[in-house]
Amino acid sequence: MERVLLDDKAIERSINRIVHEILEKNQGSKNLSLIGIRTRGIFLAKRIRDKIEEVEGRVLPFGILDITMYRDDIARMKASLEVKKTDIPFDVNNMTIVLVDDVLYTGRTTRAAIDAIMDLGRPKRIQLAVLIDRGSRELPIQPDYTGIRYSAVTEDEEVSVRLQEMDGQDAVLLSKSL
Amino acid sequence: MRDLSREEILLLLDTADSFRDVSRRDIKKVPTLRGKTVITLFYEPSTRTRVSFEIAAKRLSADTINISAGSSSAAKGETLKDTGKNLESMRPDVIVIRHSMPGAPHMLAGVLDSAIVNAGDGSHEHPTQALLDLFTMREKKETLDGLKVAIVGDIIHSRVARSNIFALKKFDTEVTCCAPPTMLPPRLEELGVKVSHRLEDAVAGKDVIMMLRIQKERGGASSIPSIREYSSLYCLQESHVKEAREKVIIMHPGPLNRGVEISSDVADGPYSVILNQVENGVAVRMAVLYLLSGGEG
């Protein structure tokens, strides 16, 4: 059983709103940069970058982060996860970095991402943008920009984000896991 | 390398590619293997490999302990198995071993629960060397398939040659081994490689030339009348490099014996990737340690 929490139009509107919130909160795009967390965070971050280019007329520095090396559950895994490339081709020092992910859940991915960025330098600030905040945090982490907040997810339900770039459609879905 | 599949090799190389970036940053450390313990147990001399493993482990935040034969209980007559059992009682996660006896790591893996990494066992195999060689070839040539590789030198005693042959033959490569007949093992062709006795012929048209030193500690020098005669025939010179493909890369696992198997002009020349190999060695070993440490045994 699947329920659509956000359809393609709603996702576009959410991203548009997030873009304006980012520019409002940071008073423009000066020293602003975007880092997408693998895998779907990359595509969301790219969409945000493109929208900001439309509004501000400039292309923000853009990076890709793979958090596998910084996970807190590596020692407990049965098999090793594949480590993919991190590619942050700009100096993070003194930057305002907007970290972009699809789903915010326990907050552990965000913790890992913050640690990973800190190992690259000392950004001025890090902000967090997510398409859906599904609640059930295990760490004191809150998003700065949220597409939709939906915390009524029960343990046997799964929130999944589908994006055109890799799934062929845009949707945020709530499904019962079997 | 003999038992690894093409897919497993590619996973290792891709993982190494991600880990190499860690070594190029200001903060050369990630917390991935925090709380893990890696012991390097070296019964043969080594600088490159031992330091490479130690740096790899440290950059992953594992704790490392180095043991070399001269300073260990092996000098007091303890067997390898007993040494292994005793070390395991201290609960390491990975034991990296180099030993002059072929199969020593395999034997240890059978009696211990820790993950065992072969860092060179006699003239048998040196898997992480082959992996870093393949990594370097792929980095410089973009793909392994289609490569023509010459491996020149003391093939019969070389674990580097064996591991590279096993690994390269998992890909669509043409491998030519070149040495005097006394330095080539019998029935080498059965591994799917070509055999040549003339350096000029072996290097012609090649994408990769890998030079090997004479393994004096394994009796390599007794295969030839004299070092001088050997070097007059098998020392890689600029003139040979010109016969190879235009963008040939020159490799050597080290240590170099300048003027014996490779001239200084070539070793320090523009086609040499010898120091890239060393850098990539750390990345490959990080990948090996990471992939072996994943999971609860």
Q: pLDDT tens per residue, chain B (297 residues)?
A: 889 999 999 999 999 999 999 999 999 999 999 999 999 999 998 989 999 999 999 999 999 999 988 777 777 888 999 999 999 999 999 999 999 999 999 999 999 999 999 999 999 999 999 999 999 999 999 999 999 999 999 999 999 999 999 999 999 999 999 999 999 999 999 999 999 999 999 999 999 999 999 999 898 889 999 999 999 999 999 999 999 999 999 999 999 999 999 999 999 999 999 999 999 999 999 999 999 987 543
CB-based contact, B30 to chain A, within 8 Å:
yes
The burial class, CB within 10 Å (0-12 / 13-18 / 19+), for B218 is: middle
The confidence score (pLDDT) of residue B295 equals 53
In order of start, what are the domains of chain A with their CATH numbers?
2-73+82-176 (3.40.50.2020)
Q: B30 CA to chain A: closest CA distance, Å?
A: 6
Looking up tokens 């045994």 gives B297
The whole-number average pLDDT for the span A85-95 is 95
Q: What is the pLDDT of residue B69?
A: 80
Instruction: Report the alpha-carbon distance of residue B251 to residue A140 in Å, rounded.
Output: 51
pTM of the model: 0.91
A80 touches chain B (CB under 8 A): yes
Give pLDDT, residue A79. Answer: 79
Please give the residue of chain B at the shortest CA–CA distance from A76: B295
**Does B17 contact A85 at a Cβ distance shorter than 8 Å?**
yes
Residues of A in contact with B289 (CB under 8 A): none
Q: What pLDDT is recorded for position A178?
A: 64
> Taking CA atoms, what residue in A is nearest to B11?
A82
Looking at residue A168, what is its pLDDT?
A: 94
Q: Which two tokens stand for residue A82?
A: 């594949």
Residue A173 pLDDT: 94
* B11–A82 CB contact, under 8 Å: yes
Give me the count of residues in chain A: 178
State the catalytic residues of B: 48-49, 76, 98, 126
A69 to B22: CB separation less than 8 angstroms, yes or no = yes
Note whether B27 contacts A119, CB cutoff 8 Å.
yes
Q: How far apart are CA B134 and CA B1, in angstroms?
A: 11
Name the pLDDT band for A74 (thresholds 50, 70, 90).
Answer: confident
Candidates B18, B21, B295; nearest CB to A79: B295
Contact: B22, A74; criterion CB under 8 Å: no
A83 pLDDT higher than 80: yes
Is the pLDDT at A104 greater than 60? The verdict is yes
What pLDDT is recorded for position B296?
43
Chain A partners within 8 Å of B296 (Cβ): 76, 78
Nearest Cβ partner for A74 among B21, B287, B294 = B294
pLDDT of residue B297: 36
Average pLDDT across chain A, whole number = 94
Partner residue facing B25 (CB), from A74, A80, A119? A119
Shortest CB distance from B21 goes to which of A71, A86, A115? A86
Smallest CA-to-CA distance from B150 within B129, B189, B178 is with B178
Can you tell me the distance from the alpha carbon of B252 to that of B45, in angstroms, rounded to the nearest whole number? 18
